[in-house]
Amino acid sequence: MSGPRFFDPDGHRHGGTPTYPYKLAPDGLLTYRQLRAIGLRPGGQPVAAQILWRSRLCKTGPRAAYLYRRELALPVRPMTPARWVAVHAANRARRTCPACRRDAGYVLPRHLGTCLPCSELPERDADMSDHTVNGGYGHEPRPTPPPQPAEPSPGKGV
């Protein structure tokens, strides 16, 4: 009985969103996943329609998948060198401790907000950028040296 109920090409019963039952969507309307499978992305276009279907796994109501127009879809942007630079910069920012300004070599734990050595210092020292520990050894609070290349490359061997 889900066919007639979900077949609503004009969206009168679904807030204006054209609605189709599973597998009855017209050609040219694809889900995000289907677009990605052919190297496309929605590209900022609004949702054109939706598929609704009943799922035994979902007790709260019908499941929905949103559809986009293939002719408005754009090619997925390839990773250019400039985009890799941006990605690396963002990752480096996530690894850089705001207390001691060093690249910790790992993404800082969100609940700490600092590198692990800084998090173990007393509160009052944590925000001093030039705190010293162990009687003047400067920035060597950690017991072991950090295992970090400055620019870890994903494809590098072991």
**Taking contact as CB under 5 A, which single stretch among the options 40-48, 49-57, 92-100, 147-155 is the one that binds Zn ion?**
92-100
Q: Which is nearer to Zn ion, 43 or 105 (CB)?
A: 105
Using CB under 5 A, which of 25, 30, 67, 118 touches Zn ion? 118
- Total residues at interface with Zn ion (CB under 5 A): 6
Rounded distance between C-alpha atoms, residue 29 and residue 145, angstroms: 55
**Residues in 97-116 that interact with Zn ion by CB under 5 A:** 97, 99-100, 114-115
Structure-derived torsion over alpha carbons of residues 72, 41, 65, 13, reported in degrees to the nearest 10: -20
Nearest CB to Zn ion, comparing residues 17 and 114 = 114
State the minimum distance, in angstroms, from the CB of residue 66 to Zn ion.
Answer: 43
User: Smaller CB distance to Zn ion: residue 30 or 99?
Assistant: 99
Smallest gap from residue 32 Cβ to Zn ion (A)? 40
Record the tokens describing residue 139, joined without a space.
């920035």
Name the minimum Å distance from CB 50 to Zn ion: 48
Q: Closest separation between CB of residue 27 and Zn ion, Å?
A: 56
Residue window 5-44: x/- pattern of binding to Zn ion, with contact defined by CB under 5 A? ----------------------------------------
> 3-class secondary structure for the chain?
CHHHHHCECCCCCCCCCCEEECCCCCCCEEEHHHHHHCCEECCCCCCCEEEEECCCCCCCCCEEEEEEEHHHCEECCCCCHHHHHHHHHHHHHHHECCCCCCECCCCCCCCCCCCHHHHHCCHHHHCCCCCCCCCCCCCCCCCCCCCCCCCCCCCCCC
Residue numbers at the binding site for Zn ion (CB under 5 A): 97, 99-100, 114-115, 118
